[in-house]
Structure 1
């Protein structure tokens, strides 16, 4: 049985109405009694990294809406600890953060594999007990992490694929209409 812990994917229930999280998948990076945080991995932001961070010279690097908290901050997850200093290992092989100045330099030098790093504006945060309550209310479906999904370039498929990966009972949910009353 999967439980709330760093590295778990939170898959929004098909009928979750919160506009920040409808049809999203969140990579949970931290879960403690005092609170939890993570990043929405399947909601593309409307600006690229070079538009948000002028020091980045590489155009068109996508940025994802990490969540509604601190929308003036840039975060990242990656699989390149040999190049990026100071990251925190969420689960084996997947790291959160590191020295951002280092990342900018590596990007500008063309030394980072862009398929192994994902950038976010803002983050998703829950106060003490809030995420547990939302889970108990069936707002979230839990799944083991899937590296291919976390770094998938086709963000529009991540939510459905996450459900399909859980098997037949959940795969049916992937095709539920957003508003069943319009069906």
Structure 2
């Protein structure tokens, strides 16, 4: 099965990809058009929590809910990725049961009721990943990324490294790749 970089798929960084922004990353492609592509790294936590970024919000200002690193572009912008239908307006359904965008107050009320259990359904992300025209297709052709059909559990569960490993193993099973993939991180990932 050959997947292209289209909206709604995930890309796992190939084991050899050592770009500090994307080592062992899993990126959800949110939009892919002729002019370029836009996606969100879904398996990397940032150093921030929601209460630090929105201290004046009446609900979120009191929640120490993790914020994830969506990518190196526009780190001053925050987005909400979720699988809660009630939060889907405004929002775009990327794949069945997965939305990008939500009303901030509705998300706050949901999380106030769920607490940290809401991490299984809602993810706040700062920044995004972007590619110029044909750039992502060239990176795919060069073997930098391993495309896979999205599974919601990859986006909302598991540790950073575990999520990446799950996607890589799925791709290897589907394309009959070797099982020699080095799953251990490179010796020095302090820059990541």
Tell me how far 1:53 sits from its aligned partner. 1.2
Q: Are 2:87 and 2:102, in contact at CA under 8 Å, matched by a contact in 1?
A: no
| Residue of structure 2 in register with 1:126 after alignment | 131
Q: Are 1:58 and 1:107, in contact at CA under 8 Å, matched by a contact in 2?
A: no
Q: Which runs of 5+ in 1 are unaligned?
A: none
| Residue of structure 1 in register with 2:157 after alignment | 152
What is the rounded CA distance, in whole Å, between the counterparts of 1:48 and 1:171 in structure 2?
Answer: 37
Cα deviation code 1:62-111 (max 9, x no counterpart): 11110000000111211112234211000111111122243234434559
Compute the TM-score of the two structures, normalised by the length of structure 1: 0.88
What is the rounded CA distance, in whole Å, between the counterparts of 1:23 and 1:85 in structure 2?
Answer: 32
Q: Which runs of 5+ in 2 are unaligned?
A: 188-192
Equivalent residue in structure 2 for 1:86, among 85, 90, 96: 90
Equivalent residue in structure 1 for 2:180, among 147, 151, 172: 172
Q: Equivalences for 1:8-157 in 2 at 5 Å?
A: 8-54=9-55, 55=57, 56-108=60-112, 110=114, 113-157=118-162
> How many residues in Structure 1 have an aligned counterpart in Structure 2?
179
What is the rounded CA distance, in whole Å, between the counterparts of 1:106 and 1:14 in structure 2?
Answer: 37
What is the rounded CA distance, in whole Å, between the counterparts of 1:178 and 1:38 in structure 2?
Answer: 24
Tell me how far 1:57 sits from its aligned partner. 3.6
Cα deviation code 1:157-181 (max 9, x no counterpart): 11111112232625531526626xx
Give the SS at the match of 1:131.
helix
Cα deviation code 1:1-20 (max 9, x no counterpart): 21111111111011112110
Give the SS at the match of 1:107.
helix
Give the SS at the match of 1:173.
coil
What is the rounded CA distance, in whole Å, between the counterparts of 1:100 and 1:130 in structure 2?
Answer: 33
CA RMSD, aligned part only?
A: 2.1
Give the SS at the match of 2:5.
coil
